Amino acid sequence: MIKLALKYTKLKKEIIKYLNDKGLYEDIDISLIDQLVFNVYLADEAQENIKANGILVNVRKDETNPLMQVNQAVSVYHQSTKLIGVLCTKLSISPEARKKLKLVSTAVGLFESEFGDE
């Protein structure tokens, strides 16, 4: 848990440093930065859940007569990656900077690891 907290604390510091270096940082942006880091966390967690459980999950305890539904992590993943883009735009973080800050790895990492670079 501590390692996890350090990862996102480091990300927050990197975002602030990037914005400071570009002359874009204002103290009022801290709430947007916190939201951005939280949504990166949610996307990472949802991605791990999808990898572990799949896109479709059995919602019944009875394995002989399964009832498959879309994993709720798919919705969380979709919403969080969408918000990452919106928050990056509000903070004037370019797509190139998103790659450098590793904010886009959650958006593409799942599918690259599952399907390769075809």
Per residue in 47-86, pLDDT (tens digit) is 999 999 999 999 988 888 899 999 999 999 999 999 999 9
Alpha-carbon Rg for the chain, nearest whole angstrom, is 17
- 106 versus 78: the higher-pLDDT residue is 78
Question: CA 23, CA 59: separation in Å to the nearest integer?
Answer: 50
Burial group, residue 111, by CB count within 10 angstroms (0-12, 13-18, 19+): exposed
Number of domains in the chain: 1
| pLDDT value of residue 68 | 93
Domain range enclosing 28: 2-115
**Is residue 77 within 8 Å of residue 14, measured between CB atoms?**
no
Per-residue pLDDT at 99: 87
